[in-house]
């Protein structure tokens, strides 16, 4: 057999191509990510496939293009529909990425169930699990009805034939790392295969108007090609995030040709699959202790949605020379900076204290608007005086101890009022910009950290 021809090398993280091997990728700065790229059969043609599928290569006047609104199909999960920009667009290719075990297969199986129940023809193709394993999972998720077929196959040419026969409207390919095409001289999961497979699925999706979900595992190391380099090939990229031992999950749009990428969907992994969390604030605050010092409610914006959360701080005298500082769920350096601001601008002697900061609920957020909340939590724990439970705090803190404006102040205040908070401490600048008074909530504008911590212990 002739030795496989190679076209060069490319970075398996970002897809950067080069004619020679390099230790560090000049595009994404990752080390040791270059792999040899086998010459893909028909690789040349692949690029043109999209153009051909989209209707030829003649230029068209913008004014002559009909702008009919795309038809959207609801997935039966509002949290997902919102991230997609209002539902599925037929003929689109959607990549769902995330760490192994985070719940991608579970989410898509639930979506398939909903679509099948609405009378759509759905095909779930798994290269990872046997039909029996899928059945076991499906049994955990509850009742299945309608036109949902399963296929355990990894050969894409065979899959293509079956799609031809079955004519599904929606297909799921779980996962792209297990798929292969005959004729590409590399193992499934390698860059060449993953790229070629995605291209092939793209042709099917565009050519036949089928919506295809592709599952992609993201791994930091290992031989599996990360789906990062697929991002420019697909229409929509969603990332499913979360910590393994925390039940809540966030579905984030990273790229979307049919909608905004500012939206997130919140889910909770339960015993019977994923449950939508339409009101994340309530969920995040559900375990907040009452009347405890060092606990402050803050407000972050996820996408375009305000989300209330609890910031906890514990400050205690250090037993060793070097004070310990930790930050769970937020930026460690930012916390150190805020401690320095408190020391210098508000006169709190924190230099001989250990300080631990935690965002409750396993959330991971580093948004400047949490600064004031972190500062208040630290000061409250330092003095051992609780912040009133009905108080919400947000604002960015600068190095001079000034409290700076943050975006969407009105939205944050409204969310707080909706959840029954009686007081909101916010930057003075934001207070001046709020035009309509929000009912049932007292707004307290602060200019600097000193003013803010005076409110600790007041109702």
Name the residue with the smallest CB distance to Mg ion.
105
CB of 271 to ligand TYD, least distance (A): 6
- The partner in contact with residue 101, picked from Mg ion, ligand TYD, none with C-beta cut-offs of 5 to 8 angstroms by kind, is ligand TYD
273 binds, among ligand TYD, Mg ion, none (CB under 5 to 8 A by kind): ligand TYD
Smallest CA-to-CA distance from 92 within 235, 259, 261 is with: 235
**Contact mark string toward ligand TYD, 405..444, x via CB under 6 A:** ----------------------------------------
Cα separation of 307 and 363, whole Å?
11
Tell me whether residue 106 or residue 380 sits nearer to Mg ion (CB atom). Answer: 106
The minimum distance between CB 11 and ligand TYD, in angstroms, equals 24
Binds ligand TYD (CB under 6 A): choice among 80, 173, 264, 269: 269
Least Cβ distance, residue 376 to ligand TYD (angstroms) = 36
Question: Based on CB atoms, which residue is closest to ligand TYD, 172 or 300?
Answer: 172
Q: Site residues for ligand TYD, window 102-131 (CB under 6 A)?
A: 102-106
230: nearest Cα among 250, 241, 214, 209: 214
Contact between 236 and Mg ion by CB under 5 A: the answer reads no
Nearest Cα to Cα of residue 152 among 174, 121, 120: 174
Min CB(100)–ligand TYD separation in Å: 5
Select 239 or 394, whichever has its Cβ closest to Mg ion: 239
Spatial contact of 374 and 311, defined as CB atoms under 8 Å apart? yes
**Is residue 175 reached through a cis peptide bond, with omega within 30 degrees of 0 on the bond before it?**
yes
Query: Measured from the CB atom, is 33 or 105 closer to Mg ion?
Result: 105
Binding of ligand TYD by 369 (CB under 6 A): no
Residue choice 50, 72, 121, 137 for contact with ligand TYD (CB under 6 A): 137
Please give the size of the binding site for Mg ion, defined by CB under 5 A: 1
In the bound state with Mg ion, the residue whose beta carbon lies nearer, of 105 and 381, is 105
Q: Min. distance of Cβ 271 from Mg ion in angstroms? A: 18
User: Considering only 100-108, 253-261, 331-339, 383-391, which stretch makes contact with Mg ion by CB under 5 A?
Assistant: 100-108
Q: Least distance in Å: CB of 266 to ligand TYD? A: 16
Residue 193 lies near Mg ion (rule: CB under 5 A): no
We find the least distance from the C-beta atom of residue 2 to Mg ion, in angstroms, to be: 37
Which of 92, 105, 358, 391 is close enough to bind Mg ion by CB under 5 A?
105
Q: Which is nearer to ligand TYD, 98 or 259 (CB)?
A: 98
As measured in angstroms, the least distance from the Cβ of 280 to ligand TYD is 19
Q: Does 8 bind ligand TYD (CB under 6 A)?
A: no
Three-state SS string across the chain, please? CCCCCEEEEEECCCCCEECCCCCECCCCCCECCEEEEECCCCHHHHHHHHHHHCCCCCCCCHHHCCCCCCCEECCCCHHHHHHHCCCEECCCEEEEEECCCCCHHHHHHHHHHHHHHCCCCEEEEECCCCHHHHHHHHHHHCCCCCCEEEEECCEHHHHHHHHHHHCCCEEEEECHHHCECCCCCCCCCCHHHHHHHHHHHHHHHHHHCCEEEEEEECCCCCCCCCHHHHCCCCCEEEEEECCCCCCEEEEEEEEECCCCCCCEEEEEEECCEEEECCCHHHHHHCCCCCCCCCEEEEEEEECCEEEEEEEEEEEEECCCCCCCEEEECCCHHHHHHHHHHHHHHCCCCCCCEEEEEEEHHHCCCCCHHHHHHHHHHHHHHHHCCCCCCCEEECCEECCCCEEECCCCHHHHHHHHHHCCCCEEEEEHHHHHHCCCCCCCCEEEEECEHHHHHCCCCCC
**Which residue among 8, 48, 101, 183 contacts ligand TYD (CB under 6 A)?**
101
Contacted by 370, from ligand TYD, Mg ion, none: CB < 5 to 8 Å by type:
none
Choose between 244 and 344: whose C-beta lies nearer to ligand TYD: 244
Binding site for ligand TYD (CB under 6 A): 98, 100-106, 137, 140, 269, 271-273
Binding site for Mg ion (CB under 5 A): 105
């Amino acid at each position: 057999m002739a030795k496989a021809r190679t076209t060069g090398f490319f970075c398996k993280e970002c897809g950067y191509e080069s004619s020679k091997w390099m230790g560090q990728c000049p595009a994404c700065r990752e080390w040791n990510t270059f792999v040899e790229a086998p010459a893909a059969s028909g690789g040349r043609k692949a690029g043109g496939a999209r153009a051909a599928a989209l209707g030829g290569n003649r230029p068209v006047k913008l004014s002559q293009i009909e702008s009919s609104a795309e038809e959207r199909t609801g997935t039966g999960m509002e949290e997902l529909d919102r991230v997609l920009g209002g539902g599925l667009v037929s003929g689109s290719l959607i990549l769902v990425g995330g760490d192994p075990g985070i719940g991608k297969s579970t989410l898509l199986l639930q979506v398939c169930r909903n679509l099948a129940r609405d009378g759509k023809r759905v095909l779930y193709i798994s290269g990872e699990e046997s039909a029996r394993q899928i059945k076991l999972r499906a049994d955990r998720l509850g009742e299945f009805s309608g036109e949902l077929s399963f296929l355990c196959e990894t050969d894409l040419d065979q899959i293509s034939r079956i799609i031809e026969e079955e004519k599904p409207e929606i297909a799921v390919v779980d996962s792209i790392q297990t798929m292969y095409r005959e004729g590409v001289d590399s193992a499934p999961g390698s860059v060449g295969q993953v790229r070629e497979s995605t291209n092939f699925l793209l042709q099917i999706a565009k050519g036949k108007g089928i919506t295809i979900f592709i599952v992609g595992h993201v791994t930091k190391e290992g031989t599996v090609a990360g789906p990062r380099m697929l991002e420019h090939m697909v229409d929509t990229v969603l990332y499913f995030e979360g910590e393994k031992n925390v039940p809540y999950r966030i579905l984030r749009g990273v790229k979307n040709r049919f909608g905004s990428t500012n939206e997130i969907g919140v889910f909770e992994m339960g015993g019977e699959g994923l449950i939508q969390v339409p009101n994340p604030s309530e969920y995040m605050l559900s375990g907040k202790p009452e009347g405890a010092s060092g606990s402050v409610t803050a407000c972050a914006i996820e996408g375009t949605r305000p989300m209330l959360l609890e910031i906890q701080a514990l400050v205690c005298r250090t037993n060793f020379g070097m004070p310990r500082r930790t930050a769970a769920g937020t930026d460690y350096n930012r916390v150190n900076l805020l401690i320095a601001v408190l020391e210098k601008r508000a006169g709190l002697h924190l230099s001989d204290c250990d300080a631990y900061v935690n965002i409750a609920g396993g959330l991971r957020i580093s948004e400047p608007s949490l600064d004031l909340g972190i500062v208040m939590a630290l000061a409250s724990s330092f003095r051992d005086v609780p912040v009133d439970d009905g108080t919400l705090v947000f604002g960015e803190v600068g190095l001079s101890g000034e409290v700076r404006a943050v975006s969407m102040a009105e939205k944050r205040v409204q969310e707080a009022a909706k959840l029954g908070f009686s007081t909101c401490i916010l930057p003075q600048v934001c207070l001046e910009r709020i035009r309509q008074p929000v009912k049932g909530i007292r707004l307290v504008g602060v200019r600097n950290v000193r003013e803010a911590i005076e409110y600790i212990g007041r109702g």
